[in-house]
Chains A and B, each alone.
Chain A
Amino acid sequence: MNRKQQFKEGLITNNPVLVQQIGMCATMAITTTLFNGVGMGLSVLIILTCCNVVVAALRKIIPDEIRLAIFVVVIAGFVTIVDLLLQAFIPALSAALGVFIPLIVVNCIIIGRAEAFCQKNTVKDSFFDGIFQGLGYTCVLIIMCVFREFVGSGRFGGGLIDIANGFRFTLDGTGGGIQIFPEEFGASIMNLPFGGFLTLGLLIGLMQYALKKSEKKKKAAEHAAKEAALKEVEE
């Protein structure tokens, strides 16, 4: 399988959130600071990759009738492992994401990829699929976080970047971020549920616009090529 193709699919043409339109609950709920977004994205990426590999490895032994039950058990297992590890080593992230970490179990992205991709593909392909789809998910989260944080509180990289004591990355969520304009001028409604729905709506709208445009371009190019070929024949 073509890795470049897979990469492009995960990030753009078959992006889990923007094109497949699944796994939206967490996308809207936790994207208030960059720290949450990156943490959630990477957690999903790790869980997705592990689940993909395990499901692909077991695909020949899993009986068809109970495959969904087995997928769910495998996913719940990995989610709990990540949950426990986060609680032990990055407690700030686990506190910030709260119930949305265990809820990755019912995130349609993971069960969707297991069902649609890993059942029919080799371990290696599934591994890369997990990484690219996870990256696509993380990118969307990051875009949403940056936008909501900037408009909502005039900040960039809250929790993740600390500039008070020289520029450095903080893993315990204590960094103040880079204040671009004073917090009082921010539209704090963007930090509320309203902002979540609106930002995701605009982002998907933008994506549909871009996809349609590139499709039109492709069609026009094809059309032009055909015309040119016809002309050549005529001549």
Chain B
Amino acid sequence: MNNKIVKLSLVLFVICAITAGILGIVNALTWERIDQITHQKEYEAYAAVLGSESGYTEVEFDKAAFPTVDSVNQSNDGNGYVVTSTFSGAQGSITMACGVGTDLRCTGISIIEHSETSGLGAVAASTSSAGEAFRAQFVGQDEGIALSKAGGSIDALAGATITSTAVTNATATSIKCVASLG
């Protein structure tokens, strides 16, 4: 009986070890590329919202006052900041990069990650003309930014008021966060 258990666990262990070994090899072959892709996506998002020739430097901010903000990156060109924040949308969390110029006006937004409904909230991140038009409205807005139904000038995406509100609020938070840096 004991012998059998030992044999069974041995077989299971060997199979697990072989699988883990193969996975290790595949991981070693792919992780560099995956890492690169993740960073590239971030840099592309940064560049889309605030162009910078010489890169970005991360700066400290008041995390307690702005819990949704992940990082604030100052452009080395001195033309503003890129704020990344993670907040909840209609379906799950949204990660967004928001460019803020030195005049405390938004220079553009770019959604890095989201799990919004395809065809509704997901339009906010898509490359379609509706998505581009939605994001273009944010350029030049200040911290008083709001949806048109709340007295502002941002037109919400059709059928995706929650996503639109969340993105608008996050933009306002990003601008306030930069303003608090002084």
Contact = CB atoms under 8 A, between A and B. Distances in A.
Find out whether A and B make contact in their complex, taking CB atoms under 8 A apart as touching: yes
B37 A85 contact: no
Interface in B29-76: 30-31, 33-34, 37, 41
B159 A70 contact: no
A167 to B, nearest CB: 18
A173 to B, nearest CB: 10
Interface residues on B, range: 20 to 34
Contact of A188 (B33, B34, B119): B119
Contacts of B128: 176
Residue of B15, B27, B33, B113 with most chain A CB atoms under a 10 A cut-off: B15
Contact of B12 (A69, A77, A98): A69
A189 B7 CA distance: 55
Contact of A88 (B15, B30, B117): B30
B11 A66 contact: yes
Given A69-B12, A84-B27, A152 B37 contact: no
Given A84-B30, A98-B115, A191-B118, A63 B11 contact: yes
A95 interface: yes
Interface stretch (B16-24, B77-85, B140-148): B16-24
B136 interface: no
A161 B155 CA distance: 29
B120 interface: yes
B18 to A, nearest CB: 8
Contacts of A188: 119-120, 159
Contacts of A27: none
Contacts of B19: 73-74, 76-77
Secondary structure dominating the interface of A: helix
B3 interface: no
Contacts of B117: 191-192
Contacts of B16: 73
Contact of B119 (A32, A61, A63, A98): A32
Secondary structure dominating the interface of B: helix
Contact of A91 (B31, B37, B120): B37
Given A66-B11, A88-B37, A77 B22 contact: yes
Interface string A184-213: 101010011000000000000000000000
Nearest to A192: B117
Nearest to A76: B19
B118 to A, nearest CB: 4
A87 B37 contact: yes
Contact of B15 (A74, A89, A176, A192): A74
B133 interface: no
B119 A152 contact: yes
Given A74-B19, A77-B22, A81-B22, A66 B33 contact: no
Contact of A87 (B7, B30, B158, B159): B30
A80 B119 contact: no
A184 to B, nearest CB: 7
Contacts of B2: none
B15 A65 contact: no
Interface string A53-94: 000000001110110011001101100110011011101000
B48 to A, nearest CB: 14
Interface of B: 7-8, 11-12, 15-16, 19, 22-23, 26-27, 30-31, 33-34, 37, 41, 113, 115, 117-120, 127-128, 130, 158-159
23 contacts: A62-B11, A65-B8, A66-B8, A69-B12, A73-B15, A73-B19, A74-B15, A74-B19, A77-B23, A84-B31, A84-B34, A85-B26, A85-B30, A87-B34, A88-B30, A88-B33, A88-B37, A89-B33, A91-B41, A176-B127, A183-B130, A192-B117, A192-B120
Query: What 4 A-B pairs come out closest when comparing CB atoms?
Result: A77-B19, A88-B30, A32-B118, A191-B119
